């Protein structure tokens, strides 16, 4: 038997031997010797298992420590909605971990509340995007109107200037002289 396997076997043997309560150390050493377990190795295993040692009268006794109480129930979970512990069919916890979530009575209600919250969030996002699009369209329309007004005012300025110069008709009749190029009145 390999040393590692022997230690595992010895651990199991000592745990079984101490399962019923405190046992005198001398009995453990004698029984261990019958199984071929040295005293020094039994003491190592005792330390690994956390065996408690106490003296009563003239004898030393070994006993397993009480199992540690978990910080929170290990097979139960806390329902933060109704404030009670409940058992989950398949615990998703490691030893000593705690979760908070809805108990089976509240799971459907919580799921519906979460879905409603998601719908409200999506609607708020859609409404926001719609308002942004409307604002952008208004801004674009205002800029287009301003550009059109500016272009109109430039055309009006040009027409006013032409009227001031007496050039109401931008293309007057051309006076032609045989062989001479046509001339505009303002060129005289």
User: Are residues 27 and 52 both part of a single domain?
Assistant: yes
| In a shared domain, residues 12 and 52 | yes
Does one domain contain both 48 and 93?
no
- Residue 109 is predicted with a pLDDT of 80
Residues 143, 130 within the same domain? yes
Residues 23 and 54 grouped into a single domain: yes
| In a domain? residue 27 | yes
- Do 97 and 108 lie in one domain? The reply is no
pLDDT of residue 73: 46
Q: Are strands 76-79 and 84-87 parallel, antiparallel or unpaired?
A: antiparallel
Write 8-16 long-range contacts (CB < 8 A, 24+). Answer: 10/37, 10/41, 10/42, 10/45, 11/45, 11/48, 11/49, 13/37, 14/42, 14/45, 14/46, 14/49, 14/51, 15/49, 15/64
| pLDDT value at residue 137 | 92
Q: Quick: pLDDT tens for 88-129.
A: 554 454 544 555 566 667 778 878 888 888 999 999 999 999
pLDDT of residue 112: 86
The whole-number average pLDDT for the span 167-177 is 55
Domain with 52 in it: 3-63
Is residue 56 situated within a structural domain? yes
Q: Which residue has the higher pLDDT, 100 or 144?
A: 144
The reply to whether 84 and 120 lie within a common domain is no
50 and 90, same structural domain?
no
What are 39-81's pLDDT values in tens digits? 998 999 999 888 999 998 899 999 988 876 655 545 566 666 6
Domain tally, the chain: 3
pLDDT tens per residue across span 21-39 = 899 999 999 999 998 999 9
Same-domain check for residues 84 and 47: no
Answer yes or no: are the C-beta atoms of 46 and 62 closer than 8 Å.
yes
The whole-number pLDDT of residue 95 equals 47
CA distance 127 to 113: 21
pLDDT > 90? residue 3: no
Q: Kindly state whether residue 177 falls inside one of the protein's structural domains.
A: no
Tell me if 184 is assigned to some domain: no
Prediction pTM value: 0.38
Q: Are residues 93 and 125 in the same domain?
A: no
141: in domain: yes
Q: Cβ of 176: how many Cβ atoms within 10 Å?
A: 10
Please tell me whether residues 90 and 108 are part of one structural domain: no
In a domain, 70, yes or no: no
**DSSP 8-state code for residue 185:** G
Q: What CATH number does the domain containing 31 carry?
A: 1.10.10
């Amino acid at each position: 038997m390999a040393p590692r396997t022997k230690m595992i076997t010895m651990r199991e043997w000592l745990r079984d031997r101490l399962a019923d309560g405190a046992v005198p150390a001398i009995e453990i050493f004698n029984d261990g010797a019958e199984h071929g377990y040295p005293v020094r190795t039994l003491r190592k295993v005792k330390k690994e298992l956390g065996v408690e040692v106490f003296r009563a009268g003239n004898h030393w006794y070994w006993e397993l420590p009480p199992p540690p109480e978990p910080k929170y129930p290990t097979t139960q979970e806390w329902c933060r909605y109704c404030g009670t512990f409940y058992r989950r069919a398949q615990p998703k916890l490691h030893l000593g971990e705690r979760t908070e979530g809805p108990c089976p009575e509240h799971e459907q209600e919580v799921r519906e509340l979460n879905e409603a919250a998601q719908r409200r969030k999506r609607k708020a996002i859609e409404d926001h995007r719609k308002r942004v699009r409307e604002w952008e369209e208004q801004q674009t329309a205002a800029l287009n109107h301003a550009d059109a007004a500016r272009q109109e005012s430039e055309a009006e300025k040009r027409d006013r200037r032409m009227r001031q110069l007496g050039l109401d008709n931008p293309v007057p009749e051309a006076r032609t002289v045989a062989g001479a190029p046509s001339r505009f009145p303002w060129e005289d």
